[in-house]
Amino acid sequence: MPTLHQYDYIFAIAVLAAALDAYNIGANDVANSFATSVSSRSLTMKQACVLAALCEFLGAILVGAKVSGTIKNGIISLSTFNGNAGVQMLGFTCALVASATWLMIATRNSWPVSTTYSIVSALAGVGVALGGPEVVQWGWNGGKGLGTIFAGFGIAPSIAAGFGAIVYLVTKYAVLVRKNPIRNALYISPIYFFTVTAVLTMSIVYKGSPALKLDKLPQVTVALAIVITALVVSILSVLFWLPYVYCKVVRKDYTLRFWHFFYGPFLWRRQAPADASEIVAGHVPDYRVRDRDCAQGAEPTASVPNHELTPQGSTEREKDVEFDAVPQEPQPGAPAALAEVEDEYTTPQIEGPWILPRNLWIIFRYKILGALTKGVNYDVHAAQAGKGGKEAERIAHMHQQVDQYGNEAEHLYSFLQVLTACTNSFAHGANDVANAIGPFSAIYYVWSNGVVTPKDTPTPTWVLAFGGAMIVIGLATYGYNMMSALGNRLTLMSPSRGFSMELGASITVLLASQYGIPVSTTMCITGATAGVGLVSGGPKAINWRAFGWIFLGWVLTVPVAGTAAGCLTGLFINSPHW
């Protein structure tokens, strides 16, 4: 089979560009998706990276192949290349270079742009450079053209906002504002587990691995598979999750450890320590944002009414409920000063020539390794509180518009938010891994076979794995830069709100994936965040300035990526030869 080894340098550039593109997808899109979970303290950065590594891989390998076909085959007509395989390699490589460069600039400046629109615009620019505007599939094109994709510009955020708002309103009025929110949350949680599992199962069945041919099964079989899987998970949540959280939240058993989860029904007989009834706070994490995360220089927010902080309810008439006190935290300026003192004594100093073994170890341990692990140790919560002064005051005032509910009820939703975060990550791997590996898989096919790609070509599994790996690395090493600009800077986050945002966004993305439409997860999670923020605290509870910058980044992506890719392609195609 002929190969194009004379263009090995183009293939090498494509590998680097695809890696950088996938890296920035992780640092931009995945960080954007997990910002809600990390901001609400349902997940730490380390936990988010581990879950992303698992779910992104599963989404990319099981679901990503079909969407990547839309990216590489549905934007530019294959006749554009006139049977010239080298030109197709060059065009797709220029698209990757332009997309990766724009994403790197956006990520560096903490702009949550659409990685989907970036690569789509770049491919359109390549098409215009090669054959003029008529070669680009501007219309619907059977659900694969630019018309389909750009229709999601307004549709995807709106639908996600609707889903997120509905989920949160159900959560709020069925649980959070009820007289006994903990009891209600325990009762309704199996329904949530059923719903989230059904959404995830639908994505696997309808867009599963082509080798499994799950989408070819009879409709009755598909429906039974979805319902039975969701029902099994819901039953397991009753058997294992329910007794575990009951002992932790209601009985306040501080001796409970994570492995006790597998004890299941036997936990109902477990007796809490004798002094557990005296515990007021500390048995569950403190999820509240107000006051605790104020940046240095910001004025403390106004006192919070009791109905916003009580663990058992949210109405002022419930005076008999014990107040869930908030543990005292150090002043904002203290940790930094303490860290400087500790760093002075714990970090060894380099003495003598740097080549000495001791100094090499210090450089590796505290410089190189410290830089590589900065992403998972970065304090995004302090960054989201603002840099002090008017900015921090503005963010604190925005948070003041929103009711904050008891830590115990919110803690129950932290488990559900982890599940929705995994669902959202799975959906992201299904859709957005195609942004990097779709064009790259076409380049690899051309390079290894020496011909222009046919209409339908399989995407190798190793290519999907390569894209998934770079996405995870991007999140782990540079995702903090994006998270610090989102989360609580957009609206106040909590596990119940974050759960609603993530579930609303994941439903939207998975529905789009079912129809082969590579919608932007950035737009979906942003729309869901706005929807939940609106129904949570009204227009004043949303940072409209930040949303405006996000929208501007979406708009700029189209001309910047498209023009850059088109100019690169035209430059190389028409350059002098000798």
Tens-place pLDDT, residues 516-549: 665 677 888 889 999 999 998 888 899 888 888 8
Residue 267 is given by DSSP the state: G
Give the mean pLDDT of 176-186. Answer: 89
Of 26-30, 213-217, 396-400, 500-504, the one with minimum mean pLDDT is: 213-217
Phi, psi of 264, deg, nearest 5? 60, -130
Residue 460 is given by DSSP the state: P
Report d(CA 243, CA 506) in Å as an integer: 28
Task: Quick: pLDDT tens for 321-334.
Answer: 333 434 444 433 33
415, 256 contact by CB (below 8 A): no
Of 29-38, 116-125, 377-386, 521-530, the one with minimum mean pLDDT is: 377-386
Give the chain's mean pLDDT: 78
Dihedral over alpha carbons 424, 429, 430, 434 (to 10 degrees): 140
Sequence ranges of the domains in the chain: 5-186+407-573
Report d(CA 199, CA 422) in Å as an integer: 12
Residue 405: C-alpha distances to residues 68, 307, 309, 542 (Å)? 42, 8, 5, 18
Report d(CA 552, CA 534) in Å as an integer: 21
Alpha-carbon dihedral sign for residues 329, 330, 332, 338 = negative
> Quick one: pLDDT at residue 419?
81
144 — pLDDT class (breaks 50, 70, 90): low
> Quick one: pLDDT at residue 207?
57
The H or E element containing residue 187 is helix 181-206
Find the angle CA(65)-CA(517)-CA(479) to the nearest 5 degrees.
Answer: 75
As given in the structure block, the two tokens for residue 140 are 């619907």
Instruction: Give the three-class secondary structure for 316.
Output: coil
Question: Ranked by mean pLDDT, which of 19-28, 271-280, 300-309, 362-371 comes out on top?
Answer: 19-28
Q: How many CB atoms lie within 10 A of CB 339?
A: 11
Who has greater pLDDT, 302 or 152? 152
504, 532 contact by CB (below 8 A): yes
Cross-strand partners of 76: 136
436 — pLDDT class (breaks 50, 70, 90): confident
Nearest to 233 by CA among 423, 47, 431: 423
Nearest to 399 by CA among 490, 329, 529: 490
Of 19-33, 177-191, 294-308, 539-553, the one with minimum mean pLDDT is: 294-308
Residue 58: C-alpha distances to residues 309, 351, 398, 425, 432 (Å)? 39, 48, 38, 9, 13
Residue 42 pLDDT greater than 60, yes or no: yes
Report d(CA 258, CA 510) in Å as an integer: 31
With 0-12 / 13-18 / 19 or more C-beta atoms within 10 angstroms meaning exposed / middle / buried, residue 131 is middle
276 — pLDDT class (breaks 50, 70, 90): confident
Residue partners of 225: CB distance under 8 A and separation at least 6: 201, 205, 217
Report d(CA 75, CA 87) in Å as an integer: 16
341 — pLDDT class (breaks 50, 70, 90): very low
38, 45 contact by CB (below 8 A): yes
Residue 11 pLDDT greater than 60, yes or no: yes
Report d(CA 164, CA 283) in Å as an integer: 29
> Quick one: pLDDT at residue 235?
95
Q: How many CB atoms lie within 10 A of CB 377?
A: 11
Residue type, 286: D
Task: Quick: pLDDT tens for 250-270.
Answer: 888 888 888 899 999 999 988
As given in the structure block, the two tokens for residue 392 are 């921090």
CB contact burial 232-260 (16+ within 10 A = b; e otherwise): ebbeebeebbbbbbbbbbebbbeebeeeb
Report d(CA 453, CA 444) in Å as an integer: 10
Report d(CA 576, CA 528) in Å as an integer: 50
Residue type, 12: A
Instruction: Give the three-class secondary structure for 520.
Output: coil
Nearest to 174 by CA among 192, 159, 158: 192
120, 68 contact by CB (below 8 A): no
Dihedral over alpha carbons 38, 45, 329, 254 (to 10 degrees): 90
